[in-house]
Structure 1
Amino acid sequence: MEHNSTFPIKQTELDMLREEATSYLKSVQWEQGQRARNKDKDSKDDSILFYLSRANNGTNAVEITSVSKTILALKKRLLPESVAIPLLLNQTLYAVQEGITLGIWVKDSYYDASGLSSLTERKSVLDNSGKREYESKMQTATAFMLFSIAYNILHNLKTVASDDLSVMKQKFAGIPEVSLMSPLKGISCALFYYDKYLGHQDIIKSDKDVADFTVVYFEALIDEIQIRKSTLEYQETILDRTYKLEKSEFAISGWDNVFSGTAKSIEFNKIQFEQIVGNRDAKHFARRLTERMLSYDFTAKKNPFQELGGFMPVFMGYGIPGTGKSMLIAAIATKLKEHCDNLDIPFLFHPMPDTLISTFQGGSAEKMVEWMKPLQDPSKLIFAPIDDAENNLQERTEQGVSAGVKEVIGVFLRYTEGAYAVNYGNSSIGLFTNLPEMLDKAVISRVQGRFKIDGARTEHDFLDQDYIWWKKFEKTMPSFVNMNNPEAYKYLGDQVLAKNMGDILKAVEKPSEERVLETFEKVEKQHREEDHMFYASLYKEIQKIFPFFSSRDVRNIQSAISLRLTDFDLEEDWFQNPDKYFKKDYETKFNMLQELMKANMKGLNFSDIRKQEVIRYLDNVATIADTDFKRKVDARIDQLKIETEAREKFDD
């Protein structure tokens, strides 16, 4: 849905609502619902949920709570000596107050735009359908108000809170209930449980915890509202506009949430490429990817490598289990993070969550859109790996594929090519899989760069893999490993990064896959490899064996060849002195790269590269198609064996 008009939220208008917001912080009253009271009755007494459900001793009396009193009590508990309120407590309280102020403004705006104001005035004379509309709009107003409050609080606290909130998230037991009956009830309920958590000794142990918990709580509130929003009516006046806060970056566009999928970087283990054994192709590819992403220009919002044909918004790494997929993901993230820190560039590590496929209709598409949204943010470099990609992106035509998977693929295709696809050259999605043959064909055709993750492949690789393991003992007990070292090999010597793809593909003369080899030799009899006609005939013949081979595959081969033309190292010096390249303007960077590309092309032979890349691609297509076929055959054989066995037993 396009947001077609922007409305300013004026500071002067907010000033008039601040007192109302403060009054909610001073005191709200809430009567817990039956379900929230009975939540988790049987669990251990000290559990947080039990504590919340006993928030007012299990009676259903209305209870009054005060966030500002709780904050003062916290200040006494955490810093008994200090007179002033500690900075983080103050910032958090202020952020919550500002969030509520803004939420009230947004609610008032919805009241006027949706016609709820006039319904409220005529409330006593409404007929049944009028009453229904009134109640319905009340719920939508409340949900949108709570969403705006939480969203603004996150905006103001994201920079203050810790990067890693996983510990706090483990302590947090969710929000027992959310009320959308009316704005007053909505705010009272949300602040009641927020206050109860703040008062719990185990949750808050420092003033940093107050900021961290507030972010976790209001993120959860947004999630709760996102789940319910599909049941709300009268959303037109929410979806057709953007509210922009005066003198601020903050804006609300419908239910869009740029923090979702925590557009905060996810934690990952630091790994260097040298610690990964074998996988020369994969390591080389990963290094090129990081150098290219770092060339992105934040002012021009584009990447010179995109113009040169050397950028891959979507790539795929595939190989048998246990060959280092997860290590490779971590190594790419590590490399990017190190360079970004060094160059003072914001970096987002944004892996696809495991919990994407939802059981309810439309839920998966919504989650997928929320995951893909941050990839369109031009203000940071974004690496978005999808590990075990076959789980969420499997072939849609297979039997038993869930509606959720189909929704996810639909969104993926829409955002990677088509009207929604925006790629500034600052984000890259990596599919990692053991079973590329299970991936949806349309998804595979979006992949512009692919490489094998095949782990240790040579004696030296296996030597090095062991060496990385046993050298740990050397540190603690120097003479414990009483074995001889190889004579002619220096450990990790083969693990250095390749100079270019040519080094890795030197050996590729002929396809390794039988049918491709046969076709290749057949076409060789009719045309010379140096003739353009050779490839035209080859593609036509390949199409006879693999009917799904199309123009898009040819485009992918072309982009693989273009990648080889930009397969050169950036100067070491540029990383040490960013002013020499990274900090230059777009035009200058583009011209510098063009010079490097020309120098690189002098050493290349076009027809050799074309042959190597075509063979590599076709082998890949054949392997994927083959494995798929083999798996289906094996499954059928197993089925027949079972049936035969069952029949024999039955006859006995």
Structure 2
Amino acid sequence: MQWAQGARAKNRDKNAKDESILLYLSRANNGSNTTEITSVSKTILALKKRLLPDSVAIPIFLNQTLYAVQEGITLGIWIKDSYYDTSGLSSLNENKSALDTNGKREFESKMHTATAFMLFAQAYKILHDLKPHASDDLSVMKQKFAGIPEVSLLSPIKGISCSLFYYDKYLGHPEIIKSDKDVIDFTVVYFEALIDEIQLRKSTLEYTETIEDRTYKLESRSVGTEFAISGWNNVFQGTAKSVEFNKIQFEQIVGNRDAKHFARRLTERLLSYDFTAKKNPFQELGGFMPVFMGYGIPGTGKSMLIAAIATRLKAHCDTLDIPFLFHPMPDTLISTFQGGSAEKMVEWMKPLQDPSKLIFAPIDDAENNLQERTAQGVSAGVKEVIGVFLRYTEGAYAVNYGNSSIGLFTNLPEMLDKAVISRVQGRFKIDGARSEHDFLDQDHLWWRKIDDTMPDFVNMQGPENYSYLQDQGLAKNMGDILSSVEKPTEERVHEVYNKVEKHFKTNQHLFYANLYKEIQAIFPFFSSRDVRNIQSAISLRLTDFDLEEDWFENPEIYFKKDYDTKFNMLQELMRANMKGLDFSDIRRQEVVRYLDNVATIADTDFKRKVDARVNQLNIETEARKTFENEQ
């Protein structure tokens, strides 16, 4: 192809150091206005000689890339020709010399649109062919990439020439390509950026009706090679690959009965998602949790619980032949650049809207990225991240099919932003080992590894009436765990509870209306969303039943059924489960549990600051005594 750089592209980053990629690109024509002829094929051959000098043939990654780019250009040109015919641009082109002012304007406008759609289709086909072969993590390549200096939409020839000119120049930069696999990785990054550039310009294009009202499908006899372009839709935006994790079974987690039970219910609900109907029957039944929270002091098993949920989901998904995405929030989300954190957060949230797989998205140490925005010293990046989180979990962007769930895991729930906490529809405490048997089992998980290696070396006597790990099984239902919950334990909540109870009984609706009103007077941030969260918690209890064992052993009985059949089967289970329950009792327990939790989180930060201040005063007092004694 041949291309003469525009003035803006040539003048970019003039003050940068010599090694700047932008400066390198701006000097692509040696600073002249002349048109330069370049060849991607020749550049690929030059890369072969540099990277693999002993190779006779073009290496597989370079060959795949070259072929994908060629196929993309071919398809893009076909798409352009199709638009010419359907939009009337072909006839305008034939009578170009006879066009009046309006005709010339229409011709130029349609030419811009044809070029944009051609480049979009070209990039889209290249991504379709190369993404399966690219690395899972492209962050390093994205850091090297400095953007596309210019994109031309003046005509199809100029559009292709401009896009391939800069693609070729990047390939020729010695710091971009260090291995043959880098060629595929960079090609994916480059053409993703080209699609983003087209999407930015999309709103300025006219005569797009014949683009948006149809789908083009590439026919193929090969299995698994279906490719279609439907308007400007980009299915690759927001795609992600599952992250590796350590395999942990629930039995390996000591204590945490509440957390393990909640986690089991989460996996069962996610697995009930119907891929054909693109919805989950548990959403209709009120037992699904798009956002939940696990909290507890350090060292109680939060990271192990994340791995256990992922392990259980992955095992069932493999059995049921369901695609699964383990999608934890990355540690490098907060950016020092203005707007960078929001962009990264959107990139992380997008895959949660993919209806083609089950998605578990944990946020470990959630207080780091979702900290209270009003706290002193909170960065602009954290505020950007929270803003995106709130929009994508409840609002215009909040599309949830019932196939994804975000889990907030934190040691410091009181440090989380209040609006973030209000999005949490299910919560549980991760408190680790609590009983004598829990500590016995925790030790057993440690010393049994020594015993396996050196039998009889651990010469200590075990308990007489307890089998190791006997208490670490899963609870039947939340009733087993919450049976002791009667009244609030937090002092202010308890006082308000008793005050309202003097006028109304707990089986009266007015009891809860007045209780909420009194709670709001103490905690002004308590709102209607909190009431909805309480309602969700009650719905979770009503759907707190086990799926039948044979459903997992024979997926055709339940998991492979259509949506309506699954919904009816769950309704039957729900009705059977509710026969032994008391609604008013469950409601009281969940309200007490939630309000205690609200009060605890509200006070903990203040109490922690008071304790820290008291500790500092004690240190100063002790230091003063020591100083006086030494004198």
TM-score when normalising by structure 1: 0.75
Aligned partner of 2:520 in structure 1 is: 543
Q: Partners of 2:252 and 2:378 in 1: how far apart?
A: 38
Match of 2:150 among 176, 180, 189: 180
Aligned partner of 2:346 in structure 1 is: 369
Q: Partners of 2:118 and 2:337 in 1: how far apart?
A: 25
Shift of 1:174: 2.6
After superposition, what is the alpha-carbon deviation per residue over 1:406-465, rounded to whole angstroms, capped at 9, x for unaligned?
A: 333333222222333222211112122222112222221121111111222222222222
The 5-angstrom pairing of residues 466-481 of structure 1 reads: 466-481=443-458
Alpha carbons of structure 1 residues 173 and 529: separation in structure 2 relative to 1, 3 Å: closer
Alpha carbons of structure 1 residues 459 and 331: separation in structure 2 relative to 1, 3 Å: same
The 5-angstrom pairing of residues 567-586 of structure 1 reads: 567-586=544-563
Q: Partners of 2:381 and 2:391 in 1: how far apart?
A: 16
Q: Partners of 1:357 and 1:73 in 2: how far apart?
A: 36
Shift of 1:522: 3.0
Alpha carbons of structure 1 residues 413 and 290: separation in structure 2 relative to 1, 3 Å: same
Aligned partner of 2:67 in structure 1 is: 94
Match of 2:179 among 198, 203, 206: 203
Q: Partners of 2:400 and 2:286 in 1: how far apart?
A: 13
Q: Partners of 1:630 and 1:109 in 2: how far apart?
A: 69
Q: Partners of 1:179 and 1:495 in 2: how far apart?
A: 59
Aligned partner of 2:133 in structure 1 is: 161
Q: Which shows bigger deviation, 145-154 or 475-484?
A: 145-154
After superposition, what is the alpha-carbon deviation per residue over 1:555-609, rounded to whole angstroms, capped at 9, x for unaligned?
A: 2111111111110110111111100000111111111111111111112122221
One-letter code aligned to 1:602: K
Alignment partner of 1:510 is 2:487: yes
One-letter code aligned to 2:375: E
Alpha carbons of structure 1 residues 532 and 69: separation in structure 2 relative to 1, 3 Å: closer
Aligned partner of 1:529 in structure 2 is: 506
After superposition, what is the alpha-carbon deviation per residue over 1:34-82, rounded to whole angstroms, capped at 9, x for unaligned?
A: 999999989xxxxxx9xx99xx9x9999896653784699699699799
Aligned partner of 1:67 in structure 2 is: 41
One-letter code aligned to 2:184: T
One-letter code aligned to 1:155: H
Q: Partners of 2:297 and 2:197 in 1: how far apart?
A: 37
Match of 2:592 among 595, 612, 615: 615
Alpha carbons of structure 1 residues 234 and 314: separation in structure 2 relative to 1, 3 Å: closer
Match of 2:331 among 347, 350, 354: 354
Tell me if the contact between 1:357 and 1:405 (Cα under 8 Å) persists in the aligned partners.
Answer: yes
Aligned partner of 1:594 in structure 2 is: 571
Shift of 1:489: 1.9
Q: Partners of 1:325 and 1:300 in 2: how far apart?
A: 34
The 5-angstrom pairing of residues 182-331 of structure 1 reads: 182=152, 183=159, 184-194=161-171, 203-204=179-180, 209=181, 214-215=184-185, 217-219=187-189, 222=192, 235=204, 242=212, 244-247=215-218, 249-251=227-229, 258-260=235-237, 262-331=239-308
Alpha carbons of structure 1 residues 480 and 519: separation in structure 2 relative to 1, 3 Å: same
One-letter code aligned to 1:179: P
Tell me if the contact between 2:275 and 2:356 (Cα under 8 Å) persists in the aligned partners.
Answer: yes
Shift of 1:331: 1.6
Aligned partner of 1:333 in structure 2 is: 310
Three-state SS of the structure 1 residue aligned to 2:544 is: coil
Q: Which shows bigger deviation, 615-624 or 32-41?
A: 32-41
After superposition, what is the alpha-carbon deviation per residue over 1:530-558, rounded to whole angstroms, capped at 9, x for unaligned?
A: 33333233223222221222222222111
Shift of 1:357: 3.1
Tell me if the contact between 2:148 and 2:193 (Cα under 8 Å) persists in the aligned partners.
Answer: no
Alignment partner of 1:455 is 2:449: no
Q: Which shows bigger deviation, 578-587 or 374-383?
A: 374-383
Aligned partner of 1:380 in structure 2 is: 357
Tell me if the contact between 1:376 and 1:423 (Cα under 8 Å) persists in the aligned partners.
Answer: yes
Alpha carbons of structure 1 residues 141 and 563: separation in structure 2 relative to 1, 3 Å: same
Shift of 1:351: 2.1
One-letter code aligned to 1:481: V
One-letter code aligned to 2:217: E
Aligned partner of 1:14 in structure 2 is: none
Tell me if the contact between 1:65 and 1:195 (Cα under 8 Å) persists in the aligned partners.
Answer: no
Aligned partner of 2:399 in structure 1 is: 422
One-letter code aligned to 1:161: H
Q: Partners of 1:225 and 1:280 in 2: how far apart?
A: 48
Q: Partners of 2:620 and 2:77 in 1: how far apart?
A: 67
Q: Partners of 1:361 and 1:181 in 2: how far apart?
A: 24
Match of 1:394 among 371, 376, 379: 371
Alpha carbons of structure 1 residues 373 and 233: separation in structure 2 relative to 1, 3 Å: closer
Q: Partners of 1:356 and 1:141 in 2: how far apart?
A: 37
Amino-acid identity (%): 67
After superposition, what is the alpha-carbon deviation per residue over 1:285-327, rounded to whole angstroms, capped at 9, x for unaligned?
A: 1111111111111111111111111111111111122222222
Shift of 1:161: 2.0
One-letter code aligned to 2:41: V
Alignment partner of 1:606 is 2:601: no
Three-state SS of the structure 1 residue aligned to 2:360 is: strand
Q: Supply the RMSD in Å over aligned alpha carbons.
A: 4.7
Q: Partners of 1:409 and 1:238 in 2: how far apart?
A: 38
Gaps of 5+ in 2: 98-107, 153-158, 219-225, 622-631
One-letter code aligned to 2:546: D
Shift of 1:481: 2.7
Q: Partners of 1:238 and 1:434 in 2: how far apart?
A: 55
Aligned partner of 1:9 in structure 2 is: none
Tell me if the contact between 1:142 and 1:181 (Cα under 8 Å) persists in the aligned partners.
Answer: no
Tell me if the contact between 2:65 and 2:183 (Cα under 8 Å) persists in the aligned partners.
Answer: no
Shift of 1:521: 2.8
Aligned partner of 1:435 in structure 2 is: 412
Shift of 1:94: 2.6
Shift of 1:282: 1.1
After superposition, what is the alpha-carbon deviation per residue over 1:367-411, rounded to whole angstroms, capped at 9, x for unaligned?
A: 333322222222221222222222222223333333333333333
Gaps of 5+ in 1: 1-23, 43-48, 123-133, 645-652
Q: Partners of 2:517 and 2:315 in 1: how far apart?
A: 46
